[in-house]
Chain A
Amino acid sequence: MVLNLPQKLLLLNNCFISQLLLPMTYTFLQEYWCFLVCLLGALLVFLMFVQGGQTLICQLGRTEEQRRMLLLATGRKWELTFTTLVTFGGAFFASFPLFYSTSFGGAYWVWMLILLCFVIQAVSYEFMHKRSNLLGKGVYRTFLFLNGVLGPVLVGTAVGTFFFGANFVVNKVNIANAVAPSAISSWTTPWHGLEAVADFRNVLLGLAVLMLARCLAHLYFLNRVSDADLRARGLKMLPWEIAFFLVFFLSFVGCWLSATGFVVSEAVETAGRIVPMEMKFLNVLLDRPELLALLLVGVVLVLVGLLLPIIKSGSRCGIWWAGCGTVLTVLALLLSAGWGFGGVYYPSLADPQSSLTLANSCSSEFTLRVMSVVSLFIPFVLLYIIWAWRALEKRPIDSAELS
């Protein structure tokens, strides 16, 4: 049989995808994509120093010049946070479409609020200092403040439902109703996601993320902005910010470790069913020591980064320590939902058997293989981001830079 060029390309492509990564099992691919999505989530939390910075602009900057320096510092990075959020959504859709379908289609209001507060951020940086911007500088700065507060709190609260559950049911056969098709997944409360704030544990996580974002923003400004007055004021505020962060974070960790979660049963009589497990996440950490190590190293790095500028005068590298620590800590937290005991990462409070697991919500093996090939580009992406960051940030921002 003679093949034409497109057919040859097709054959080559399919051979490449099926042969490359051949030793990887479907389960491995599911865990790999869980890891990538969690990594994106962890990077997003780190990059939320932009949001934290936005809440500090008026508090930290006393003069217009100082405020503009702070805005310039965060303004060069907001795109990265935004893009990470979009890629997080895209990667979740591609690798775990049932989550996308269930959570986005069900917890409608939480996700809509998150989107709205990111929409107002996207335009504010560009429009704020332009003449004839219709709404005035103050409104755009208010938008940035709202995004700075609501973004981390809402994202944190939504992520809390990965650990403490949400109210939905899933039945894939609903789509096979020719007379009156219904949704395969539906929310069981009329609040469509807003009920997540009724669980104080979700809110604790949201507040912890907000305070972490503010702490990281202080460290970022200490690193990027060259202004003695701002530096002194930032150092004065930082211990209080750290204290608030620790209160919220440690309270959340306490709730998280003691929470009853859901796991896939391995017992003979209930094999494959989703059952509750007391102190699930503590058990996950003990079962997967690599996650425990990741969490401990992450927390230590965060603390080192936060305390460094306080104990070592003139230190500017706290952001890197705390940034790496944030990524590791959040990665460990998120992976604890996906990697332990059957990977019940999105438990349903309404019907535990509807809970989403890595296995029942992921894309097909072929799709995960294809995307795993694409994920080989990620190191190159990281390399050019680092290069661009360094190229732009050769010297700190000062009043001369504003002109």
Chain B
Amino acid sequence: MEPIDPSLIDWSRAQFALTAMYHWVFVPLTLGLGLIMCIMESIYVKTGHEFWKGLTRFWMKLFGVNFAVGVATGIILEFEFGTNWSNYSWFVGDIFGAPLAVEGIVAFFLEATFIALMFFGWDKLSRGTHLMSTWMTVLGATLSAWWILVANAWMQFPVGMDFNPETVRNEMVSFAAVALSPVAVMKFLHTVTSAWVLGAVFVVGVSSWYLLRGRHSDFARASIRVASIVGLIAAIATGFTGHQSAVQIARIQPMKLAAAEGLVDGGQGVGLVGVGLLKPGVNWANPQEDPFLFKVEIPRALSILATNDPNGYVPGIRNLLEGGYPGEDGLPALSADQQMAIGKKAIQSLVTYRAAREAGDGAAAKTAEESLRRSFHYMGYGYLNSPEELVPPVAVTFYSFRVMVILGGYFVALFAGLLLLGHRIERVRLIPLGVLLSIPLAYLASEAGWVVAEVGRQPWAIQGLLPNCAAVSRLATSSVQLTFWIFLVLFTVLLLAELCIMLRVVADGPESSSKAPAAE
């Protein structure tokens, strides 16, 4: 059979990245705005004041517009695992499919059922039942995020499975290890809290626009108050979970951390690059000069970030490729060449095993299986042709990481400032204007986070086990190119339509003219 065209891999990656990034434009707003909506409706049910009902209904209208496109892009994403990554689907389907099925059975139906009650049930249900429907819708969306992040975390940190050479795939041996993997837990907390931040920025941003225009001021102030509290808590939690994620990445994906830092030569007590500019065209596998045009470094901060120890050892890209640095087990780490040699041996053992089984040679099959088990951990490296392939796109990862972290810090300050200033923000027009302009920044930070997570782990579909080149479907490159452009046009049109509708809804403002209750 013919080998796979390398450009097919690139186009398949581009299509998946396109779908995932578009999907992630809509999902965090669903999660974040959903939570804020739930809190507002809870206040309405508790106080019985129509003002809060009006507030909830207004934000719900925006939630609905956004939700529809999120659903539309999500379905493509689920099926693209099969359409574009068929080897991957078989190689890990035994583990990866289960969270998707649970997501469908438990989360999607919860969301789909209660969202109809939430939108159409205002005059048909009691206040309590309607509130329950709203919470259930948001819970469904959050549970959905949980399961898909379990699947994603498993790709970054494969656990709870065993390779079966008979079926040529990984098979689950512990559901709890997959569903409650520490990487999955942290990824979920980090992602969901960051989505809450985005939802909060959206609410304070839109509300600031009303303050700037001098319209619906009561409505805007109440919304800012609720969203700022949610946003501040979420932004602090995002920072904390981000740090915990960095500690995990340092241990399980050290190349990603090295790329995010542009760190070529590691060591003990390594500093963190706060701001920096990379030289273009650097050969990151073996740079001959300092890859930075300039950088501002915080001493020892990377060691603290990665190991919680100011003198902790953090390997750089060169260390990871050349090996020899002290590994977690105290032994010198393997070089990329050594890992690739073991990986090729694993693949050869698999071939030998299959041939021996076919020939009915039980003894040879057993020997090959044992050899495979010893070397399986490095099997993915066997598909690589050179150590350089192990280095992800450094510049993209480096800048995305900075965008994410700096904006994360900005959002903490933003929400704290809004809470401290209270009504005084209306006195200086620049403040609400700045808050309004923060909305695209929240999206930028959110997307940048995923770029770090996904670009930083290249070339792997499954960390260490399956690179992209061995995961892709055998299709004509032109087919994938065509669907890429179709999706690009379609999603862009849908995004523009959503923006136009949202701008109109915002311009129209809330329907309810109730004033804010004085006691609140």
- Which residues of A does B touch, CB under 8 Å? 6, 9-10, 13-14, 17, 76-77, 79-80, 82-83, 85-87, 89-91, 93-95, 97-98, 100-106, 108-109, 111-112, 115-116, 118-120, 122-123, 125-127, 130-135, 171-187, 190, 192, 363-364, 366-367, 370-371, 374-375, 377-378, 381, 384-385, 388, 391-392, 394
Specify which of B168, B479, B493 is in contact with A134 (CB 8 Å cutoff): B493
Interchain CA distance A106-B89 in the complex, whole Å? 12
Q: Which residues of B contact A130 (CB under 8 A)?
A: 65, 501, 504-505
**In the assembly, what is the distance between CA of A381 and CA of B104, in Å?**
11
- How far apart sit A275 and B97, CA to CA, in the bound complex (Å)? 30
Contacts of B104 in A (CB 8 A): 83, 86-87, 89-91
Beta-carbon contacts under 8 Å, B425-479 to A: 469-470, 472-476, 479
Q: How far is the CA of A392 from the CA of B501 in the complex (A)?
A: 26
- Distance of A176 from chain B, by nearest CB (Å): 5
Task: Return chain A residues, CB-CB under 8 Å to B134.
Answer: none
A381 to B509 CA separation, bound complex (whole angstroms): 37
CB-nearest residue of chain A to B73: A119
**Which chain A residue has the least Cβ–Cβ distance from B129?**
A391
Shortest C-beta distance, B253 to chain A (Å), equals: 22
Q: Is B171 an interface residue (CB 8 A)?
A: yes
Contact residues, B85-104 vs A (CB, 8 A): 85-87, 89-91, 93-98, 100-104
Cβ-defined contact, B180 with A9, below 8 A = yes
CA distance A210 to B382 in the complex (A): 49
Q: Which residues of B contact A (CB under 8 A)?
A: 1-4, 64-65, 67-69, 71-76, 78-79, 81-87, 89-91, 93-98, 100-106, 108-117, 120-121, 124-125, 129, 133, 164, 167-169, 171-177, 180, 343-344, 347-348, 350-351, 354, 382-383, 469-470, 472-476, 479, 483, 486, 490, 493-494, 496-498, 500-501, 503-505, 508
**Inter-subunit contact B124/A392 (CB<8 Å):** yes
Closest chain A residue, CB of each to CB of B82: A104
- Asked if B493 and A135 make an inter-chain contact with CB atoms under 8 angstroms apart, the answer reads yes
B168 touches A184 (CB 8 A): yes
Given the known inter-chain contacts A82-B75, A126-B65, A388-B114, please indicate yes or no for A132 contacting B503, CB distance below 8 A: yes
**Across the two chains, which residue of chain B brings its CB closest to A183?**
B474
Q: Which residue of B lies closest to A9 (CB)?
A: B176
Query: Are B100 and A90 in contact, with the CB atoms below 8 A?
Result: yes
- Nearest residue in A to B352 (C-beta to C-beta)? A176
B1, A186: Cβ atoms under 8 Å? yes
Interface CB pairs A-B, < 8 A, 13:
A13-B174, A79-B71, A79-B116, A87-B101, A104-B86, A127-B501, A130-B65, A133-B497, A178-B383, A184-B90, A370-B172, A391-B124, A392-B117
Q: Which residue of B lies closest to A388 (CB)?
A: B113
Is A186 within 8 A of B474, CB to CB? Answer: yes
Which listed residue, B81, B102, B176, B383, touches A181 by the CB 8 Å rule?
Answer: B383
Quick one: which of A95, A105, A123 contacts B84, CB cutoff 8 A? A105
Minimum CB–CB distance from B286 to chain A (whole Å) comes to 24
Q: Which residue of the partner chain, among B95, B176, B504, contacts A131 with CB atoms under 8 Å? A: B504
A378 and B344 form a contact (CB under 8 A): no
Given contacts A101-B90, A126-B65, A185-B86, 19 further A-B contacts (CB under 8 A): A83-B112, A86-B74, A86-B78, A90-B97, A91-B101, A100-B93, A101-B87, A104-B79, A105-B89, A105-B473, A111-B79, A115-B79, A130-B65, A132-B501, A181-B3, A181-B469, A186-B1, A367-B97, A391-B121
From A14, A93, A371, give the contact of B174 (CB < 8 A).
A14
Specify which chain B residues have a CB less than 8 angstroms from the CB of A172 in the assembled complex. Answer: 90, 167-168
Complex A-B, nearest 4 residue pairs according to Cβ-Cβ distance, in ascending order: A97-B93, A105-B86, A104-B82, A180-B3
Q: When the two chains form the complex, which single residue of B4, B96, B112, B348 contacts A178, counting CB atoms closer than 8 Å?
A: B348
Cβ-neighbour of A17 out of B78, B124, B175, B343 (below 8 A): B175
Assembly CA distance A363 to B170 (angstroms): 10
Report how far A123 CA is from B73 CA in the complex, Å: 10
Q: Is the CB of B117 within 8 A of A388?
A: yes
Name A's interface SS. Answer: helix
Kindly report which residue of chain A lies nearest to residue B67, judged by CB atoms.
Answer: A126
What CA separation (Å) do A263 and B322 show in the bound complex? Answer: 54
Closest chain A CB from B512 CB (angstroms): 17
Contact B94 A98 (CB under 8 A): no
B109: A residues at CB distance < 8 A: 83, 87, 381, 385
Contacts of B81 in A (CB 8 A): 93, 100, 104
Q: Does the CB pair A133–B171 fall under 8 Å?
A: no
* Residues of B close to A134: CB separation below 8 A: 493, 496-497, 500-501
Q: Which residues of chain B come closer than 8 Å to A173, judged between CB atoms?
A: 168, 351, 354
Q: Which residues of A contact B87 (CB under 8 A)?
A: 101, 175, 181, 183-184
In whole Å, how far is B425's beta carbon from the nearest beta carbon of chain A?
Answer: 29
A116 to chain B, nearest CB (A): 7
Taking a contact as CB atoms under 8 Å apart, the answer to whether A85 and B75 are in contact is yes
**When the two chains form the complex, which single residue of B101, B473, B500 contacts A132, counting CB atoms closer than 8 Å?**
B500
Q: Given A86-B104, A364-B171, answer yes or no on A97-B347 (Cβ-Cβ < 8 Å).
A: no
Instruction: Using A76-B116, A122-B72 as known contacts, say yes or no to A87 and B79 having CB atoms under 8 A apart.
Output: no
| Contact assessment for B351 and A80 in the assembled complex, using a CB-CB cutoff below 8 Å | no
* Cβ–Cβ contact A108 & B475, under 8 A: yes
The CA of A391 and the CA of B130, in the complex, are separated in Å by 11
Instruction: Give the residues in chain B near A176, CB-CB below 8 Å.
Output: 168, 347, 350-351, 354
Chain B residues with CB below 8 A from A184, complex form: 86-87, 90, 168
Question: Could you tell me if A109 and B472 are in contact, using CB atoms closer than 8 angstroms?
Answer: no
Q: Which residue of A lies closest to B4 (CB)?
A: A182
Q: In angstroms, how far is the closest chain B Cβ from the Cβ of A15?
A: 11
Taking CB atoms, residues of chain B closer than 8 Å to A133 are 497, 500-501
* Alpha-carbon distance between A391 and B110 when the two chains are bound, in angstroms: 15
Is A366 in contact with B171, judged by CB distance below 8 angstroms? yes
From the candidates B1, B98, B169, B500, name the one contacting A371 in the complex (CB within 8 A).
B98
Task: Tell me the nearest residue of chain B to A105, going by C-beta.
Answer: B86
| CB neighbours of B90 from chain A (8 A) | 97-98, 100-101, 172, 175, 184-185
Q: Nearest residue in A to B173 (C-beta to C-beta)?
A: A366
Contact across chains for A367 and B95 when beta carbons are under 8 A apart = yes
Contacts of B180 in A (CB 8 A): 6, 9
Of the candidates B2, B116, B501, the one whose C-beta lies within 8 Å of that of A388 is B116
Whether A94 contacts B98 by the Cβ 8 Å rule is yes
B113 adjacent to A385 (CB under 8 Å): yes
Q: Within the complex, which residue of A104, A109, A123 is in contact with B479, where a contact is CB–CB below 8 Å? A: A109
Query: Could you tell me the distance between the alpha carbons of A45 and B121 in the complex, rounded to whole angstroms?
Result: 27
Asked whether A101 and B1 contact (CB < 8 A) given A90-B101, A175-B91, A181-B87, the answer is: no
Instruction: Give the residue name and chain of the B residue nearest to A181 (CB).
Output: B470
Complex-state Cα separation, A178 to B114, whole angstroms:
49
Q: Which residue of B lies closest to A185 (CB)?
A: B86
Closest A residue, CB atoms, query B69: A123
Q: How far apart are the CA atoms of A190 and B475 in the complex, in Å?
A: 9
Q: Which residues of B sit under 8 angstroms from A98, Cβ to Cβ?
A: 90, 93
Do the beta carbons of A93 and B83 come within 8 Å of each other? no
Contact between B89 and A101 (Cβ–Cβ < 8 Å)? Answer: yes
A130-B505, A178-B348 known; A108-B479 Cβ under 8 A: yes
Which B residues touch A135, using CB under 8 A?
A: 493, 497
- Who on chain B is nearest to A362 by CB? B94
Chain A residues whose C-beta falls within 8 Å of the C-beta of B91 in the assembled complex? 175
